[in-house]
Structure 1
Amino acid sequence: MTDVGAEVPWRRLDGRMLVVAPMQHVVRLLPLLVILLFTGRGDPVRLWITLGITVALVVLGLVRWKTTRYRITPDRVELHSGWVRRQRRSVPRDRLRTVDVTSTLLHRVFGLGVLHVRGASHASADHHGLKLDAVSVAEAGRLRRELLQSSPAPGGVGGRTPGPDQAADAPDAPGAPGEVLSGDGRRGDHRHSRVLSVLRWPWIRFAPLTTSALAGTGVLIAAVWNVVSELGVRPRDLPFAADFEQRVLGAAIWLTVGFLALALLVVAVLGALLMFTERWWGYRLTRDDEGTLRVHRGLLTRRSLSVAGNRLRGVLVSEPLLLRAGRGAQTRVLATGLGRGSQGGALQPPASRSETHALAALVAGEPVERSTLAPLRRHPRRALWRRLTRAVGPALVVCAAGWTVASTVAGWSWLGPLTTALAALAVPLALDRYRNLGHLLTDRHLVTRWGGLHRHTVVLERSGVIGWRLRQSVFQRRVGLVTVEAVTAAGDGGYRVTDVTAADGVALAAAVTPSVLADLRRSAPPGAEEAPGDLAAQCAGRGPQERLDHR
């Protein structure tokens, strides 16, 4: 019998990567080169070392191109790479979960893209996927379409040069919500894509309310400060700096602190707005006839995430405290093999709460009132007391420590009132965490919500649940509560229903996966009672913090 895979020729990466790969490293070394060339503090040895590293990067890029080859057979994706350390990677096509295409500004100048192919795993793509860096944009689009098909196309995809009408999906194709596009705006593709969401600039007001944007701004400020320091430039040496510093330090302490806080806030807000623009420029979410979701976004770095429809397992609505205070939220997709590394599964920028829940319901295929905004079943009052004790107890300890320091250390009298004010926030925080607890079981989905500082609402397909974890700490056992976690191959790998009674926890697991109750009974100690609540308590309560897995 002839080996079909042996008939598919091996292919190399695009030759233009010989220019792009070294240039990427040179760009990273550019601040150091500037310092060495223009400050006068750099010695020739450091300069020659830097130039030697640059030459070495060019040589390594050539070796990498020469030793890297790939092919796509009807049943596998294979990648061979390396010279000193050879690697042979092969991923079955029926195990592929997501295909991402990323193009930095440098890649786009040369018409290239980086194709990430990820398999069924939560690990990084370096161990459970393939990365083709780099291929032409047309090749990346063609490979993505072929790999995301429910079944491999006859004749495979390896070795065939795409025609002009088989170019990649255009990230900039026009569209509006509800509009139907043919082939993502290109000719020659019989599939149709329905635009589910496009960028609305009023959403930019939510950018300063996201912690990721604020953290990114802080990293950018730190990087600029390091470059300025290396260049030998001191802000206080500027002509106007001395007089400005004298005026600021001569003012009242509260005025100085207020000015510095305001300046930091302005910089953080501007940085968050710029990062939002770079990340979500040209954003468009589409779904084709086969159910494949595609997210296109990015200004300098173009990103394209594709998730096959048969890999979808649900959606998650994320609401951090600041974003929730501004009545905003963000929708993420749950798909097998798609973890936090695959752009986080974000389907939409931070947007208004109503628009976020509407998109989540649309992706889940359920009405809003039966998905993320469904009236959930409240958890027992014992869960409220657990949240109060867990929040108020540590707050009182901190408050007592604050007053002790305030009364014994001179100049720290303000610490006592501050810790008292923080302790007073513990009660509303605990009440909010309890109010957010809840779950619901529909015909197709398990809906669960938890969290206070960061509220999560998950709509998980019942068919996507592959097992259960029952956890019970010492404190939960004293009040008769358990935490039930639905195990899935999508997203974070598991989503919990926190602090339910033992009977409700087992009943929930048995309703979603009927065989789980039989597994629990078989794993129970001899002589255990048949009541679901007792059985769950015996299975879950095996130590101070123990769990029982059923998959």
Structure 2
Amino acid sequence: MSEDWHRLSARMLAVHPVQEVVRLLPVLIGVLFIGRGGQGQIWSLVGLGLAIAAGLLRWFTTTYQITAEHVRVRRGLLSRKELSVPRDRIRTVDLTSRPLQRILGLSRVVIGTGRGDWQGAAGVTLDSLATADAARLREELLHRRTEQSAGLVDVLAELQLSWVRFGPFTLSGIAAIGVVAGSLANLFNEVQIDEDDFGTLQSLIGQVASAPVWVIVAGLVVLTAVLVSVLSVIAYVLAFWNFRLARGEGTLRVTRGLLTTRQTTIELRRLRGAEISEPLLLRAARGARCSAITTGLRGEHSSSVLLPPAPRAVAHRVAGDVLEDPAAASAELIRHGPRAHLRRYTRAFLFAAAVTGLFVLLWWLADWPAWLWQVALALFPAGALLAEDRYRNLGHALRDGKLVFRQGSLVRRRQVLSAEGVIGWVFHRSFFQRRAGLISLTATTAAGRQHYTGVDIPAAEAIALADAAEPGLLEPFLIRSVAEPVRDLRR
């Protein structure tokens, strides 16, 4: 294998200057309008030149080397930095292409090494390579031949146009509204726009302000709902257009994106399970999303995606197909019993009583409005509904070597974890859990979030579950008798 040092594609010289200018655009606009006379234009041009120079400099100061043992990247001019990653530590190689890169036939290569990447490290990044070279490098680093990866034997899921209807239920448009509003506010502040220039707008705002309060509130709610829905649909299409999940020779290949495309390869031998998540609004629309529990991926909400928001039945099917165990993804779960049920109601009612009592005291002692504690009384029925839903979502199971936990209400999660991937157990009991005879059982693993918890399981069941999932692991800590397999550990 050649051990020469290589440069990134020369076509990146047309990409990085543009990226640097876009990244510094708010600063350049601020400098342009803040400056007095011709100084703003001069300093803006200076900043523009520096941004372009920074983009060009990256190509001249970045080289990489691929050897049989390491991947090395050198970058920097005044401060020279060399990053070296052993080949046997490489877990993922992701390819990303932004719109301008796609036009020029380039891809950004991100080489992941596992846990450090999940915690936010940048990993090894080659930005940019020719798309064909990037694909060959991915196959080489993952020890897969191009012929193998090209021969995908099964397509597990492809985006259906009907799935776009789940976009508004993800609420991703709220973040977009915040970003746009913040950017406009900063722009108006920097530009120092005279309010008198918008007389018509001020007149319209005055007419709206004179309307009844309930009309203003209802109008704002409707307008916000429409904006959030539209922006959420746009975000869904941008992120998941052309989504495709396929299984090949020992790999899962995920491709998605409209303007910016992304390809993620997951090795099946590193797969430890799957998670089906259902945020409250998405669950109300009978939708769900699916992600992989696997070692080596850099983030739960990006690289690990196995299915975008889609019908719940499709999410369960995909999880079952990926794990090659359809029953585990939809198996009936064991309920956690009346004490866990009572615990949910107790916590909900204590919270409602505390809030209501606080408002009553403020009304009595500080002459606060009485309607505050009267409205707070609604927390009791709302808390009862939430408590019942939280209990119904609690469950666990052990089926054919698959450990299943489910919990949550605002976001219901069902985690299917291979028992072989469990490397340890954590038994947690608060004071009130001890009094109720309950345990929160956490399975630790090197994959995904590194820990998955079954909440408020009866103590004897939790210990028996851990012992059955990994026979022998708890043996030094168990006290057994002929008549009682597990005892005296609930205290």
Q: TM-score, normalised by structure 1?
A: 0.81
Q: How many residues align?
A: 489
Take 1:124 and 1:22, find their aligned partners in 2: how far apart are those partners?
A: 29
* Structure 2 equivalent of residue 109 of structure 1: 103
Whether the aligned pair in 2 keeps the contact of 1:502 and 1:532 (CA below 8 Å) is no
With over 3 angstroms needed to count, the CA separation of the structure-2 counterparts of 1:257 and 1:409, relative to structure 1, is farther
Whether the aligned pair in 2 keeps the contact of 1:213 and 1:271 (CA below 8 Å) is yes
1:279 aligned to 2:250? no
Whether the aligned pair in 2 keeps the contact of 1:103 and 1:303 (CA below 8 Å) is yes
With over 3 angstroms needed to count, the CA separation of the structure-2 counterparts of 1:127 and 1:257, relative to structure 1, is closer
RMSD, matched Cα:
2.8
Whether the aligned pair in 2 keeps the contact of 1:99 and 1:307 (CA below 8 Å) is no
* Structure 2 equivalent of residue 241 of structure 1: 201
Correspondence for 1:433 among 384, 390, 396: 390
Take 2:35 and 2:336, find their aligned partners in 1: how far apart are those partners?
A: 66
Whether the aligned pair in 2 keeps the contact of 1:284 and 1:297 (CA below 8 Å) is yes
Take 1:234 and 1:534, find their aligned partners in 2: how far apart are those partners?
A: 77
With over 3 angstroms needed to count, the CA separation of the structure-2 counterparts of 1:68 and 1:29, relative to structure 1, is closer
TM-superposition CA deviations, 1:483-518 (whole Å, max 9, x none): 111111111111111111222222222222223213
Take 1:416 and 1:336, find their aligned partners in 2: how far apart are those partners?
A: 50
Take 1:80 and 1:41, find their aligned partners in 2: how far apart are those partners?
A: 39
Deviates more, 1:266-275 or 1:404-413: 404-413
1:53 aligned to 2:47? yes
Whether the aligned pair in 2 keeps the contact of 1:235 and 1:241 (CA below 8 Å) is no
* Structure 2 equivalent of residue 226 of structure 1: 186
Could you tell me how far 1:533 is from its partner in structure 2? 5.3
TM-superposition CA deviations, 1:347-379 (whole Å, max 9, x none): 222111111111111111112xx2222101111
1:311 aligned to 2:270? yes
* Structure 1 equivalent of residue 226 of structure 2: 266
* Structure 2 equivalent of residue 336 of structure 1: 295
With over 3 angstroms needed to count, the CA separation of the structure-2 counterparts of 1:149 and 1:325, relative to structure 1, is same
Whether the aligned pair in 1 keeps the contact of 2:349 and 2:380 (CA below 8 Å) is yes
Identity of aligned residues (%): 38
* Structure 2 equivalent of residue 399 of structure 1: 356
1:60-459 alignment to 2 at 5 Å? 60-124=54-118, 127=121, 129-149=123-143, 189=150, 191-233=151-193, 237-288=197-248, 290-340=249-299, 343=302, 345-367=304-326, 370-405=327-362, 412-459=369-416
Correspondence for 2:23 among 17, 22, 28: 28
Deviates more, 1:458-467 or 1:238-247: 238-247
* Structure 1 equivalent of residue 446 of structure 2: 489
Partner AA of 1:18 in structure 2: L
Deviates more, 1:239-248 or 1:113-122: 239-248
Whether the aligned pair in 1 keeps the contact of 2:113 and 2:123 (CA below 8 Å) is yes
SS state at 2:100 partner: helix
Take 2:261 and 2:184, find their aligned partners in 1: how far apart are those partners?
A: 24
With over 3 angstroms needed to count, the CA separation of the structure-2 counterparts of 1:183 and 1:221, relative to structure 1, is farther
Whether the aligned pair in 2 keeps the contact of 1:70 and 1:79 (CA below 8 Å) is yes
Return 5+ residue gaps in structure 2 as ranges. Answer: none
Partner AA of 1:121 in structure 2: R
Partner AA of 1:291 in structure 2: G
Take 2:394 and 2:82, find their aligned partners in 1: how far apart are those partners?
A: 47
Whether the aligned pair in 1 keeps the contact of 2:419 and 2:469 (CA below 8 Å) is yes
SS state at 2:343 partner: helix
Partner AA of 1:394 in structure 2: F
TM-superposition CA deviations, 1:286-313 (whole Å, max 9, x none): 111x131121111221122111121111
SS state at 2:157 partner: strand
Whether the aligned pair in 1 keeps the contact of 2:31 and 2:43 (CA below 8 Å) is no
Return 5+ residue gaps in structure 1 as ranges. Answer: 154-165, 167-181, 522-527, 539-551
TM-superposition CA deviations, 1:399-458 (whole Å, max 9, x none): 222344456677844322332223321111111111111111111311110111111001
Could you tell me how far 1:48 is from its partner in structure 2? 3.7
Deviates more, 1:211-220 or 1:11-20: 211-220
Partner AA of 1:203 in structure 2: W
With over 3 angstroms needed to count, the CA separation of the structure-2 counterparts of 1:219 and 1:194, relative to structure 1, is same
Partner AA of 2:97 in structure 1: S
Take 1:360 and 1:217, find their aligned partners in 2: how far apart are those partners?
A: 33
TM-superposition CA deviations, 1:94-118 (whole Å, max 9, x none): 3322221111122223222111111
Correspondence for 2:7 among 4, 12, 17: 12
Whether the aligned pair in 2 keeps the contact of 1:183 and 1:193 (CA below 8 Å) is no
Whether the aligned pair in 2 keeps the contact of 1:464 and 1:488 (CA below 8 Å) is yes
With over 3 angstroms needed to count, the CA separation of the structure-2 counterparts of 1:197 and 1:427, relative to structure 1, is same
* Structure 2 equivalent of residue 163 of structure 1: none
Q: TM-score, normalised by structure 2?
A: 0.90
With over 3 angstroms needed to count, the CA separation of the structure-2 counterparts of 1:49 and 1:519, relative to structure 1, is farther
SS state at 1:348 partner: strand
* Structure 1 equivalent of residue 419 of structure 2: 462
Take 2:59 and 2:476, find their aligned partners in 1: how far apart are those partners?
A: 52
With over 3 angstroms needed to count, the CA separation of the structure-2 counterparts of 1:303 and 1:235, relative to structure 1, is farther
Whether the aligned pair in 2 keeps the contact of 1:504 and 1:533 (CA below 8 Å) is no
Whether the aligned pair in 2 keeps the contact of 1:440 and 1:447 (CA below 8 Å) is yes
Whether the aligned pair in 2 keeps the contact of 1:502 and 1:534 (CA below 8 Å) is no
Deviates more, 1:56-65 or 1:110-119: 56-65
Take 1:341 and 1:375, find their aligned partners in 2: how far apart are those partners?
A: 26
Could you tell me how far 1:243 is from its partner in structure 2? 3.4
Take 1:259 and 1:130, find their aligned partners in 2: how far apart are those partners?
A: 49
